[in-house]
Amino acid sequence: MGKPSQNELEGLQGQLAKVLGDAIADMRVSGEYNSGVLNVARQLLKDNGVLTVADQGNPLQDLAKILPFDEKDVAAQ
């Protein structure tokens, strides 16, 4: 078997993103979250440079509010 083509790799990545999206949607419905699936999704986004800004009303902003970090410590970094 030869080296996969760029199209094959992109197709595989697209399939992975779909599977992860479906799994996360199912977790939201059930209320039972799988940290392994969430970590793979996080890493896929990171590896592909997908970033977002934590605006007001954005789930990232809501998450940031509940994390146990002192704002002064975060600002100093």
Q: Can you spell out the DSSP letters for the chain?
A: --PPPHHHHHHHHHHHHHHHHHHHHHHHHHT---HHHHHHHHHHHHHTT------TTSHHHHHHHHS---HHHHHT-
Q: What is the pLDDT of residue 38?
A: 95
Reading the chain (77 residues) residue by residue, the pLDDT tens digits are 789 999 999 999 999 999 999 999 999 999 999 999 999 999 999 999 988 877 878 887 777 777 776 666 656 55
> Token pair of 2, please?
């030869």
Distance CA 72, CA 6 (A): 45
Domain ranges of the chain: 6-75
